Amino acid sequence: MRKLTVNTFLTVDGVMQAPGGPEEDPTGGFTHGGWSVNYWDEAMGQNMGEFMGKPFDLLLGRKTYEIFAAHWPHITDDPAADALNSATKHVASRTLDEVEWTNSILIEGDVAEYVAKLKEGDGPEIQVHGSGDLIQTLLEHELVDEFRLWIFPLVLGSGKRLFADGTIPAGLKVVDSETSSTGVLITTYEPAGDIEYGSFALEEPTEAEVQRRQELS
């Protein structure tokens, strides 16, 4: 079984939209694009290099595919560019007729069924970057094996969120965590099953307990 990982930059209030620049994704009137840029340090670059340095396939939504395809094929002398350009890209889109970036495959038919079958086959880790709408489908069908969330110390109040309305409630297990010099929390989670609910409310005393308290007062 192949592991599927979601790799996402987030604000403290859960926004994942347009971390890399103002023109990345202004849909919905979003004006905060580029919010992650000034937080990068050496440790973050090293962490990124570690998981990008291993073999992987990419699973991308249309918007993220178009952003990546417009940028990475034109970058040279960069290990990240080499890894992304050589990886097999599986692209989920209802509007694209073809995908021209090297080693790209346009998903046909039901996306959840395609991904489930992809995970059952042989091959490297499947990484999802960005692709907020696609992630909602993966969450709905419980196809995510690991979340690598980089939580930046800021709030925006608006924008596309990783865990949008309608997300299925579920527990998560922290398997790794570190903090950059700029305060970015780099945390890895795994699904941990259903939430176990409880209550801190005090139980109502029985009549016998009330009577005993009255007798002692």
pLDDT average, residue stretch 124-147: 92
**The pLDDT value given to residue 184:** 97
- The structure tokens listed for 149 are 């969330």
CA distance 105 to 150: 28
**Could you tell me where the DSSP H helices lie in 72-165?**
79-86, 111-120, 132-140
The alpha carbon of residue 25 and the mean position of all alpha carbons in its chain are separated, in whole angstroms, by 16
pLDDT average, residue stretch 90-96: 94
Instruction: Return the residue matching tokens 């570190």.
Output: 178
**The pLDDT value given to residue 55:** 92
Count the neighbouring beta carbons within 10 Å of the beta carbon of residue 188: 18
Q: For the chain, what is the domain count?
A: 1
**The pLDDT value given to residue 125:** 96
Using the predicted structure, report yes or no on whether residue 165 has a pLDDT greater than 90.
no
The predicted-structure confidence for 23-46, as pLDDT tens digits, reads as follows 888 989 999 999 999 999 988 988
Q: Is 65:101 a contact under the CB 8 Å cutoff? A: yes
Instruction: State which amino acid sits at residue 119.
Output: K
Q: Mean pLDDT over all residues of the chain?
A: 91
Instruction: State which amino acid sits at residue 125.
Output: E
CATH number for the domain harbouring residue 68: 3.40.430.10
Count the neighbouring beta carbons within 10 Å of the beta carbon of residue 183: 12
The predicted-structure confidence for 35-89, as pLDDT tens digits, reads as follows 999 999 988 988 888 888 889 999 999 989 998 999 899 988 888 889 999 999 9
Residues with Cβ within 8 Å of residue 182, at least 6 apart in sequence = 39, 40, 41, 44, 153
β partners of residue 149: 8, 187
- The structure tokens listed for 160 are 């596309």
CA distance 60 to 89: 7
Going by DSSP bridges, is the β-strand pair 56-61/125-129 parallel, antiparallel, or unpaired?
Answer: parallel
Domain span including residue 192? 4-216
Q: Which range is least confidently modeled, 29-38, 73-82, 194-203, 206-215? A: 206-215
